[in-house]
Structure 1
Amino acid sequence: MAAREREEAAGERPAPLSLFEDVRADGADDGDEGADAAGGPAPSEDGEARRRRRTRRVLVWTLVALFALLLGGTGVAYWTVDHYASSVERIPGAFPTLPADKQPTAVPNTGTTFLLVGLDARSDVPTTGTEAKAPAWKAGAQRSDTMMLLHIAADRKSASIVSLARDTLVDIPGHGKAKINAAYSWGGPSLMVETVQNLTGIRIDHIGVIDWNGFRALTDAVGGVDITIPQTIEARGDARQWDAGTHHMDGAEALLYVRERHGLPNGDLDRSKRQQNFLRALMIQTMDAGTLGSPARLTGLLQAVGDVVSVDDRLSNTDLYELAWSMRGLRPDGVRFMNAPFGGFDSTADGQSVVLLDRPAAATLWEAVRNDRMEQYLAEHRTSSDTLGDSVR
């Protein structure tokens, strides 16, 4: 352990950790020097220093689990890299084949931006825990249920997640104006990336495709999540009633929570906030010592990731590991959630209800993402209704 700490102090990246090397189920540190035969600290050991070292190691494992959820298995490279990272399906041809001058210019040293796409359903996803066999896209078979931009700051100390409502009216190349979720159905990941790049002027570095249905397994793997409903929402049509209070949700109930929109006052806008609220709760539960300290729970979590997420084939196993390692200093409160600025509802010529962006406000947000100035943006817009708060319907 001393050798590993010297490597960290020197700024070198240590070899991938064994699952049980640094954190035991009881939270103790197997490798602390100076421990007596009974496992307690020797009289000469500085207790505060030991706690700092243990906190740092637990944080690394927190990131392992957190980025497995957000980035499709990134953190698993700390533990048996090839097995878990290779279980994440890679998507070929995920980016538009356009000349550089037809795409947003990549701004150097401004962080990394992922486009996260959640699907209504992904065909042939098994429920037995084995890997999904269906492709991430088949022409006309799926529409994206959720679109989120995940921007990771260049200093790796913060991350921002911005949701785009599925009914947002946009220009889809080759198809004209339509709801943004149609882009995935018509042209798969590459058309979706092109559409979002045209809308935002942000160069997308990577894409992750998420199967919401598979989040049942992820939720159950961490023992469920706690979600608070601020006020009772009565049943409407097929939508169930949600009673006010804190609910400990298993995977099946959490899936109902993130998919429902017809019983919510603002429909798809409220649903996107629910999805963010769920991801936040899942992150918190993942970071809980009961998950990190349980080999069974952590194993189940990592095994479920490959069934839930696909990423572009530009991300190798080594890339995933190096990204996770670079983010080891990120703290939970450094991850912020928000919706793209809302500009109202409208209807199309054929009577479809659509969501409009507040274009001037959105332009300010896109510029902040593009130039890695999200901390400044959030400081100036912390009271915005588009930013996820503690009270979510």
Structure 2
Amino acid sequence: MRNAVPPTRGDDLVPGMRPDRPRRRGRRVLVALLAVVLLLLLAAAGAVAYLTSSIGNDISRIPDAFRGIDANDRPASFGGTTFLLVGTDSRSSEPTTGSEADPNADAGSQRSDVIMLGTVAPDGSNASVVSIPRDSWVEVPGKGMNKINAAYAFGGAPLLIETVEKLTGVRVDHFGVIDFAGFTGLVDSVGGIDVDVAQATSNNGVDFRAGRNHLDGTQALAYVRQRHGLPNGDLDRAARQQNAMKALLTTVQRKASTDPAALYAFATNVGDAVSVDDSLSNTGLAQLALQSRDLRASNVAFVTAPVRGLGREGAQSVVYLDDDRGAELWGAVRNGSVTEWSDRHPSQSLSGLPS
């Protein structure tokens, strides 16, 4: 497996941008949603109030993420806390998330590359992360049938939140975005992550061998972005993103007791990686961290929304969701039984050895 950073491709640049700018410049926003890791792991540092206040001040807030959503049309809360977590495929030459981002920039000017719904149980004892394929063919309020990721392009966070709530019947409490430069920094801050790979593959100049692979931030980015060469394309890529999230969660929890310096480095990198909606205060971060202090990776269920099949709508390749099994899954999210649902539907669950 090569450790060298692959050369930047010409089509990853925008006009007038030099390829030797710092790594936050001119790079795509990450296709993984690690904001949930931040929110579940701050408690592990042992100084929750201090860290969430200090780090919380460094996390940029997304204004008006819920603007214009009719409160009467929203699903009822079930007592847990749910985050809609997205990454976009923006090629902006400026940071789009994190503390260096322009807080007034239109985050919805690009399509979301990955969508995950992360839910923490009311007592913080368990959580679930559900990937919704970006090409899912769904009803976008006011826009008709379209790919779910188009909702973000059409109307930013509010329209994507409204679309996901209508699809799932799950109330979204908070919205978060993370970019790829932030992801690489988070992985590197804890010394890398270990992932298991089912078969040898390569992507963007990085080779992955069958079995256990230790990845630094750049290699982890290549891992979660690979789509070509995987048996199920985007669906396998979603599984890889969940696998990387679980690996980072496991690593950070291990570092909590053995390497406080690495844990602190991870925590202080969060502000450069993550943006969250402006309704999530520092106090709210502290309360969630305290509530979730005993949560472990083994108690987080990672699943993918059930798919009925693949097809085309005009010139677009789309994913058709399975309405019946989907309704069962969203009910499980609301009542905290996703683990039991995944046991009944193992094909929808994150396996121990994704492609």
Q: Same fold (TM over 0.5)?
A: yes
After superposition, give the CA deviation of every residue in 1:363-384 in whole Å (9 maximum; x if it has no partner): 11111212333344344x2x52
1:153 & 1:72 partners in 2: Cα distance? 11
Structure 1 partner of 2:316: 352
Aligned residue among 205, 208, 211 for 1:242? 208
**CA shift at 1:293, angstroms?**
3.5
Q: Secondary structure at the match of 1:258?
A: helix
Aligned residue among 356, 373, 376 for 2:337? 373
Structure 2 partner of 1:47: none
Q: Secondary structure at the match of 1:82?
A: helix
**CA shift at 1:97, angstroms?**
2.0
**CA shift at 1:331, angstroms?**
2.9
Give the paired residue count: 318
Is 1:263 matched with 2:263? no
Structure 2 partner of 1:49: none
1:330 & 1:72 partners in 2: Cα distance? 7
Q: Secondary structure at the match of 1:134?
A: coil
Aligned residue among 165, 175, 179 for 1:211? 179
After superposition, give the CA deviation of every residue in 1:270-302 in whole Å (9 maximum; x if it has no partner): 00000000011111111224x653343223211
Structure 2 residues without counterparts, runs of 5 or longer:
1-33
Structure 2 partner of 1:105: 76
1:104 & 1:74 partners in 2: Cα distance? 29
Give the residue type in structure 1 aligned to 2:145. K
Aligned residue among 120, 125, 128 for 2:95? 125
1:376 & 1:126 partners in 2: Cα distance? 37
1:203 & 1:168 partners in 2: Cα distance? 19
Aligned residue among 245, 250, 254 for 1:279? 245
The 3 A distance-change label for structure 1 pair 226 and 373 is: closer
The 3 A distance-change label for structure 1 pair 231 and 302 is: same
2:107 & 2:59 partners in 1: Cα distance? 22
Structure 2 partner of 1:171: 139
1:1-393 correspondence runs (5 A):
69-71=37-39, 74-75=42-43, 77-107=48-78, 109=79, 111-121=80-90, 123=92, 124-125=94-95, 131-135=99-103, 138=106, 141-233=109-201, 241-289=207-255, 292-349=257-314, 351-379=315-343, 381=344, 383-393=345-355
1:73 & 1:142 partners in 2: Cα distance? 29
The 3 A distance-change label for structure 1 pair 391 and 72 is: closer
2:41, 2:289 within 8 Å by CA — same for their partners in 1?
no
**CA shift at 1:172, angstroms?**
1.3
1:192 & 1:137 partners in 2: Cα distance? 17
Give the residue type in structure 1 aligned to 2:74. Q
1:73, 1:88 within 8 Å by CA — same for their partners in 2?
no
The 3 A distance-change label for structure 1 pair 224 and 375 is: closer
1:67 & 1:139 partners in 2: Cα distance? 16
The 3 A distance-change label for structure 1 pair 243 and 81 is: closer
2:133 & 2:225 partners in 1: Cα distance? 13
Q: Secondary structure at the match of 1:106?
A: coil
**CA shift at 1:336, angstroms?**
1.1
2:124, 2:295 within 8 Å by CA — same for their partners in 1?
yes
Give the residue type in structure 2 aligned to 1:303. T
**CA shift at 1:262, angstroms?**
1.6
Q: Secondary structure at the match of 2:109?
A: coil
2:169 & 2:65 partners in 1: Cα distance? 18
1:74, 1:85 within 8 Å by CA — same for their partners in 2?
no
Please say which structure displays the higher CA radius of gyration. Answer: 1
**CA shift at 1:340, angstroms?**
0.4
Give % identity. 45
1:118, 1:210 within 8 Å by CA — same for their partners in 2?
yes
**CA shift at 1:84, angstroms?**
0.8
Give the residue type in structure 1 aligned to 2:84. L
1:240, 1:263 within 8 Å by CA — same for their partners in 2?
no
Give the residue type in structure 2 aligned to 1:274. R
**CA shift at 1:68, angstroms?**
7.1
Structure 1 residues without counterparts, runs of 5 or longer:
1-65
After superposition, give the CA deviation of every residue in 1:34-85 in whole Å (9 maximum; x if it has no partner): xxxxxxxxxxxxxxxxxxxxxxxxxxxxxxxx98734388547443443211
Give the residue type in structure 1 aligned to 2:62. I
Give the residue type in structure 1 aligned to 2:333. V
2:354 & 2:63 partners in 1: Cα distance? 37
**CA shift at 1:155, angstroms?**
2.3
The 3 A distance-change label for structure 1 pair 121 and 286 is: farther
After superposition, give the CA deviation of every residue in 1:151-191 in whole Å (9 maximum; x if it has no partner): 11122111010000111111112222211111112211111
1:332 & 1:320 partners in 2: Cα distance? 19
The 3 A distance-change label for structure 1 pair 74 and 67 is: farther
**Length-normalised TM-score, structure 1:** 0.74
1:102 & 1:68 partners in 2: Cα distance? 26
